[in-house]
Structure 1
Amino acid sequence: MKEKKKILVYNHIFFLISETFVYQQARDLAQNFDVHVLSQKFQNPHGFDCSMLKTHLVKRPQSLVGRALGKLIRYWCGAHMNISLKSFLRFRKLVKDHNITAIHAHFGPNAIDILGYAKAFNIPLMVTFHGHDASTLLRDKEYKEKLPELFDYATGIIIVSRHMIETLELGPWISKVHVIPCSVDPTKFTIQKNNKSSEVVKIAHSGRVVPTKGVPDLVKVFSELADKYDNIELHIAGDGIELEDSKELARKYGHPEKIRFYGRVSQQEVKDLLNDADIFVLNSRTDDRGDMEGTPVSIMEAMCLKKPVVSTIHAGIPDVIEHGKNGLLAKEYANEELKDRIEKLIQNPEMRKQLGAKAKETVEESYTNRVMQEKINKVFASL
C-alpha cells in the first residue's frame, strides 16, 4: 500500500469552541493524508472525534536559561514562535522522522509564527485565513508588514471568501490563492417534522453576540416589527460582549416577552432552534475596529434546514446568498432595509418556502463537507 503523505496542521490552540471549521479541515485532510496536529494547547469542548489526528504539543520556555535558548532558536531559524529547546528538538525530530510533506497553518498570525521553522526545515507552508486575520489585524502595522514574506514563501494561500483577495492585497500572489469556504455536513442538519399549529412566526439568530453580528440592531428592528405584528418572536442563541446590552434594549423597546436569549448553547440546541424557526437572520457588518466575518457557517446551517435567510452584503455572504433567489440581503447598518426584508418573509409564507428550498439546494451543490474535502485534498495532493 502506498504510504500517505504527511501533513502537519498548526494552530496555537486546538480546538476553540468557535473554531469548529479548523477541526473540519483537519478531519477532512485525514481522509487522504496522515495528519499530525501541532499546538501550544489542546482542548476539545465539543467532544470531537480526534482519533484520526496525531497530536504534538510545543511549550514556551520557562526558566531564564530556557528563555535565552529560545531566543537563540528563534534567531537561528528567523522564527517568531517562542518554544523551548526540548519542544524545538521534538518538533525537528517530528519533521525528519515522519517526512512531513507540508505544514498547514490556520490564521495569518500562526502562519507568521511558524514561517521561520518551515524555512529552516525546508517544508512547504500552506496558510488559511478565516476572518479577523484578513480584516481587523491588518490595522497592526507590524503584522501587515510581515504578510508579503509569508505570501512569498507560501506554497498555497487558502481564503474562505473572495473579498479577502482585496483586503489581503493578494494580487501579486493570485496564482497561489484557493477560495475554499467553510461548509456543513448535511447529514447532521436533518429537517425535523414540525407539527406546530401555532401561527407564531419564529425568527432566529445563532452566533456570537459581538459587534460583527449586529444583534442590538436586530433587537431594535424586531421591536419595531413587534409593534405591528403580534404573532412574531425573536430567538437569539449565543454569548458575547453585546449580550447584556441586547437584553437591555429588549426591555427598553417594550417587547421582552417576545425576545428570548439562550446564551451559549450546544450544537444540538442550535439544530433544535433552527428546526423550530421560520426565518433565520444574521445581521453581519464590519465593526468599528474593521473586524469582518469570513463566510458564516451559521447561515449554511440554516440553509441546510430549508430556512429562508435574511443577511447583509458583507464579506463572503453574497458568495452564498443571491438576493431574491435563495435568501434576502440588506446593506450593512441599513436597519430599514433589514426590517423590510424580514417583514416580507413575515407576510409571505410561500416566499419563505421557496427561498428555503432554494437555499438547501445551494448548500448541497456547493457548500457541503464533501465539496470542501474535495477542494482541500486537491490543493494538498498537488504538493
Structure 2
Amino acid sequence: MKIAFIVGEFPVLSETFILNQITGLISRGHEVHIYGSRPDDMSKMHPDVERYQLLKRTYYVPSIATNYLVRVLKGLGLIVSNLHKSPLVVLRSLNFFKYGKYAISLRLLYSVIPLLPPKQYDIIHGQFGMHGIEGQVFRDIGAIKGRLITSFRGYDISYYVQECGEDVYNELFVKGDFFLANCEFFRQKAINLGCERDKIVVLRSGIDCSRFQFKVRSPNLNDKIRIVTVGRLVEKKGIEYGIRALAKVANVHPNVEYNIIGDGYLKEELHLLIEELRITDKVKLLGWKNQQEIIDILDNSHLFIAPSVTAQDGNQDAPVNTLKEAMAMGLPVIGTLHGGIPELVQDGVSGFLVPERDADAIAEKLIYLIEHPHIWEQMGRMGRTCVEENYDINKLNDKLVNIYQLLATSPPQSNQAELPVVRANRKYINP
C-alpha cells in the first residue's frame, strides 16, 4: 500500500509512537510518505530516522514568515513556481470565503505545496485530530486522494477541543472514513463529541519490547534508590508533584535520587521549586535524551513515576510510552488516575495509581515501595507481561495494516450531502 502520514513537526523525539508506526509499515513492505514541518532543532534524532532514511521520505511545508508582507511576497513566488502543477488546487487553496483564516494567512497555500502535483494514496493518515482536519481539507481541494483515517492521541481530543469548541471535529466526523483512539478513554470522548461509534476503534500506542530488556529490580545495600520520570516539562506531566513528593520522601529516606528526563517551558520554574525545597542534591533535571540514553538511565534506576495531571487548559495524557518502557524494563511504577493511564497500570498489581496533584499520595507509595522491596520483582514482572500482551508494537502494527487494508478495499461512503461552508473563523490553524 501507499500511505501518507500527515504530522506536525517531524522528526520529534517525544513522538516515537508515530515513528514506530512508520518504521513498522516500511518493514512490512509498504511505501510511506511523511508530510509536516521541519523542527527548529534536529540535533537529536531517534536512530531509526537515519536507519530507515526517513528524511528522504519526508516532504516539508515551506517555512512561513511571521511578517505577513514577507509571507505574501514568498507566497506569490510559490504561486508562480507551482501554478502549472495544478492550477485548480493552487486557486482553491486561496479560497478565503470557504477556508477563512486558513487561506487568508496563506497557510493552506504553503501546506499544499509539498503535495503538488496532486498525490494519490491508498491511505491518508492524520496523526492527530487537527492533522485529520488538514487531510480532509487537502482532499477537498484535490491536493491528495485516498481514504482518510485520523488518530486521536491526547491533547487533540482534550485541550484542542476545549480551546476550539466541541464542534471542531463535526465536519471531519462526517467526511473522514475511519478513526483511531489510543485508549478507550479518548475513544469515548470522540463518541461523545459526535463520532459514530462504528467508525472508531482503539489502537493502542506501542513500543518495541525487544529494545527494553527486563531486569529484576532490587535495592543495593548502602546505595541510593534511584527514581526517574521521563516527560516534557509541561503542566500535564505533573512533574511538580513528583518533585514535591521526593522532598517528603527524602525526610524519611535521605538516600534517594530523582532524575527527570525532558525539557519544556516549566524548566526554570521547576529549578526554582527544587531550590526552594532544598533538594538540589537529590533532584536533577537532565534535559532531553535520545532513546538509548533513556534506556541506560532506566536500566540503572529502581522506581518510576508518571505524575500526569489534567492541565488548566484541559490537556490530558493517554497511557504514555515512557511509562510502558519503564514497565517493560521491570521498574515498579506509580501513575495517576488520569486520562488513559488506568488502562495501562493495574493498581496494586503492575504498579500503583494515585489521585492527580497529590504529592502526599505519591510520597506515600514511594515510601511503601522503598520499605517493601520484596514486591518489586513481582510488580515488575506483571508490568512487563502487561506491556508485552497489550502494547507490543509488532502486534499493533499488524492490526494497523489490517485496518488499512479493510479501509482501502471497502466501498467509499455514500455521497454525503454538501456540508455547510467552513466557518470563516475556523480555529484549527493559527493565522
TM-score by length of 2: 0.79
Q: Distance in 2 between matches of 1:39 and 1:356?
A: 38
Secondary structure of the equivalent of 1:182?
coil
List per-residue Cα deviations over 1:46-86 (Å, max 9, x = no partner): 24133477333444772447579846435399665612598
Q: Flag the 1:259–1:138 CA change in 2: closer, same or farther, 3 A.
A: same
What residue is the counterpart of 1:19 in the other structure?
15
Q: Distance in 2 between matches of 1:369 and 1:197?
A: 37
Deviation at 1:265, TM superposition (A): 1.7
Identical-pair percentage? 23
What residue is the counterpart of 2:272 in the other structure?
248
What residue is the counterpart of 1:83 in the other structure?
109
Q: Distance in 2 between matches of 1:183 and 1:86?
A: 31
Partner of residue 38 from structure 1, selected from 13, 35, 39 = 35
What residue is the counterpart of 1:8 in the other structure?
4
Secondary structure of the equivalent of 1:125?
strand
Deviation at 1:354, TM superposition (A): 1.3
Partner of residue 213 from structure 2, selected from 178, 184, 190 = 190
What residue is the counterpart of 1:105 in the other structure?
126
What residue is the counterpart of 2:370 in the other structure?
346
Partner of residue 28 from structure 1, selected from 9, 17, 24 = 24
Q: Distance in 1 between matches of 2:116 and 2:321?
A: 36
Structure 1 unaligned spans of 5+: none
List per-residue Cα deviations over 1:135-179 (Å, max 9, x = no partner): 11112336x433011011111111111111333325541111121
Instruction: Indicate if the aligned counterparts of 2:217 and 2:380 stay in contact, CA closer than 8 A.
Output: no
Deviation at 1:199, TM superposition (A): 3.6
Q: Distance in 2 between matches of 1:13 and 1:210?
A: 18
Does the alignment pair 1:173 with 2:196? yes
Does the alignment pair 1:158 with 2:180? yes
Instruction: Indicate if the aligned counterparts of 1:17 and 1:46 stay in contact, CA closer than 8 A.
Output: yes
Instruction: Indicate if the aligned counterparts of 2:75 and 2:109 stay in contact, CA closer than 8 A.
Output: no
Q: Distance in 2 between matches of 1:135 and 1:219?
A: 25
Q: Flag the 1:74–1:260 CA change in 2: closer, same or farther, 3 A.
A: same
Instruction: Indicate if the aligned counterparts of 1:10 and 1:106 stay in contact, CA closer than 8 A.
Output: yes
What residue is the counterpart of 1:73 in the other structure?
93
Instruction: Indicate if the aligned counterparts of 1:118 and 1:124 stay in contact, CA closer than 8 A.
Output: no
Which segment drifts farther, 285-294 or 230-239? 230-239
Q: Distance in 2 between matches of 1:84 and 1:210?
A: 30
Q: Flag the 1:230–1:35 CA change in 2: closer, same or farther, 3 A.
A: same
* Aligned residues between the structures: 373
Secondary structure of the equivalent of 2:260?
strand
Instruction: Indicate if the aligned counterparts of 1:9 and 1:103 stay in contact, CA closer than 8 A.
Output: yes
What residue is the counterpart of 2:403 in the other structure?
379
For residues 230-245 of structure 1, the aligned pairs below 5 Å read 230-245=254-269
Q: Distance in 2 between matches of 1:171 and 1:89?
A: 30
Which segment drifts farther, 239-248 or 267-276? 239-248
What residue is the counterpart of 1:132 in the other structure?
155
Q: Distance in 2 between matches of 1:366 and 1:150?
A: 29
What residue is the counterpart of 1:359 in the other structure?
383
Q: Flag the 1:278–1:86 CA change in 2: closer, same or farther, 3 A.
A: closer
Deviation at 1:34, TM superposition (A): 2.2
Instruction: Indicate if the aligned counterparts of 1:15 and 1:22 stay in contact, CA closer than 8 A.
Output: no
Structure 2 unaligned spans of 5+: 65-71, 84-89, 408-431
Superposed CA RMSD in Å reads 2.7
